[in-house]
Amino acid sequence: MKKWMLCIAALASIPGSALLAQNLTGTWQGTLKPNPTTDLRIVFKISTSDKDTLKGVMYSIDQKTPAIPLSAVTLQGSSVKLTIPAIGGSYEGKLGSDGSSIDGNWSQGPNPLPLHLTRATDATAWAIPDPPPPPKKMKADADPSFEVATIKPSDPNKPGQFLTIQGDRMVTGNTSLSFLITFAYGLHPKQIAGGPSWLDSEKYDITAKPDVEGQPNDKQLRTMLQKLLADRFKLTFHKEKKELSAYSIAVGKNGAKLSKSEGDPNGLPGLGFRGKLGALFARNATISDFAGLMQTVVLDRPVVDQTGLAGRFDFTLDWTPEPSQFGGRGGQTPQPGADDPAAPPDLFTAIVAQLGLKLESAKLPVDVLVVDHVEKPSGN
């Protein structure tokens, strides 16, 4: 289910950060309508930090989300903008003259939605329900395998492909063996050599349950998938080092512009697109996770992380795709015209301006997985 979030506003005409904070601290709430039959009650609790700057958390009551931290508020006159990297959302609005309401629009995808906020009192404030307990984590030192795995041919008319974790199970849809290999070993398709043509053409739906209790981290997930490929697809291979045309990701000359994630450092990352190609969100993700998504989904060659940045980050990246990106689908999604001042920049410009990183073409030595043997999957 999509998570819809929102932002807080401020009144620039009141001088002094202390007065600004005083007029915005408290609880703000409003109802978001992502479609005609759905109401999502949104609550923001705003307070001040030790440095007398605004901070806050957001709740989506009807989705029972845990508190989601707000990023820094920007204020120009009575106009306010807040971005929430963890969910790829942003809100722009204006604070009413009486200081008790904010009118604006919530954006999380191509179509902004109106969202009116009012300042809540003790009598009007909505109760915040307890969020569902977080999933139990698999022990970090566990070396799991998939105890049970169901592999079925996909519907040939089904669009797209995905791989996700639902509870403690891995679920994939419309995934080719080539896709599964690139995910399991962190490769670009050009780093796979040999093998039959059906590596790309045959698609599978997989549901697999680990033999160890708890939700795996990303390393454990990849390890289990590697074992599944060897067991059910009889995959054997060897690796070679080759110099290939690739992209490198490095820190820009003015430094990175990334927010450290407050997510579980041993948890799974979340990366995806908000309603259109080129509107990317990342949460609890390493730069290597980001490079992996870019090389697997967006770009036509391997992407190598050369930033040296450790840890996990929450961020968004908005760009106008070129036709060659997304496997040739970059030009299929309606995009603003190049002369439209509201159009996002190209990918290379966006990475510098929005993330403080740089993406450059280079010849780099990379590992190539050479398929020695593979079979279509054994029966369930």
For residue 271, give the H/E element and its range.
strand 270-273
* 133 part of a folded domain: no
| pLDDT at residue 10 in the model | 28
Q: How far apart are CA 110 and CA 300, in angstroms?
A: 25
Cα three-residue angle 339-318-69, rounded to 5 degrees: 140
Q: Does residue 6 lie in a domain region?
A: no
CB 350 within 8 A of CB 318: yes
Q: Which residues of 202-233 are buried (b: 16+ CB within 10 A; e: fewer)?
A: bbbbbbbebeeebbbbbebbebbbbbbbeebb
Residues 308, 247: Cα–Cα separation, whole Å: 15
**Residues 6 or more apart from 373 whose CB is under 8 A from it?**
234, 235, 236
Alpha carbon distance, N-terminus to C-terminus of the chain: 30
Is 126 a member of any domain? no
Q: Which of 70, 104, 119 lies at the terminal end of a domain, its last residue?
A: 119
Q: What is the pLDDT along the chain (380 residues), one digit of tens a residue?
A: 443 433 322 223 333 444 444 477 889 999 999 888 999 999 988 888 777 787 888 889 998 888 888 876 676 777 777 777 677 778 888 988 888 889 999 987 667 899 999 999 999 999 998 877 878 889 989 999 999 999 999 987 777 778 888 888 999 999 999 999 999 999 998 999 999 999 999 999 999 999 999 989 889 999 999 999 999 999 999 999 999 999 999 999 999 999 899 888 888 888 888 767 888 889 899 999 999 999 988 999 999 999 999 999 999 899 999 998 987 776 665 555 555 667 889 999 999 999 999 999 999 999 999 999 999 987 66
Name the DSSP letter for residue 347. H
362: phi then psi, degrees, rounded to nearest 5: -160, 160
- The backbone torsions φ and ψ at residue 12, rounded to the nearest 5 degrees and listed phi first, read -70, -20
Same domain, 299 and 349: yes
Token pair recorded at residue 20: 């600004």
Same-domain status, 166 and 51: no
Domain count, the chain: 3
Closest CA to 93 of 83, 106, 84: 106
Same domain flag for 222 and 248: no
160 in the same domain as 82? no
Question: What pLDDT does residue 251 have?
Answer: 97
Give dist(CA 76, CA 169) in Å, integer.
Answer: 47
Q: What is the pLDDT of residue 368?
A: 95
Residue 198 lies in a domain: yes
**Cα angle for residues 92, 317, 216 (degrees, 5° grid):** 110
The answer on 352 and 253 residing in a single domain is yes
Domain membership of residue 295 (yes or no) is: yes
State residue 339's pLDDT score: 59
Which pLDDT belongs to residue 307?
Answer: 96
For 53, which DSSP code? Answer: -
3-state SS assignment for residue 300: coil
Three-class DSSP category at 295: helix
Residues 252 and 356 in one domain: yes
CATH of the domain at 61: 2.40.160.90
Same domain, 267 and 161: no
Tokens 């090389």 belong to 295
> What pLDDT sits at residue 2?
40
Q: Distance between CA atoms of 234 and 226, rounded to whole angstroms?
A: 11
pLDDT value at position 7?
A: 32
**Residues of the domain holding 313:** 243-366
Name the token pair of 50. 């030790």
32 CA to centre of own chain = 22
Same domain, 248 and 361: yes
What CA–CA distance (Å, rounded) separates 343 from 304? 28
Evaluate whether residue 379 is within a structural domain: no
Can you give the pTM of this predicted structure? Answer: 0.66
One domain, residues 361 and 251: yes
Say whether both 115 and 161 belong to one domain: no
Q: Tell whether 92 and 164 lie within a shared domain.
A: no
In this prediction, residue 337 carries a pLDDT of: 52
Q: Are residues 360 and 248 in the same domain?
A: yes
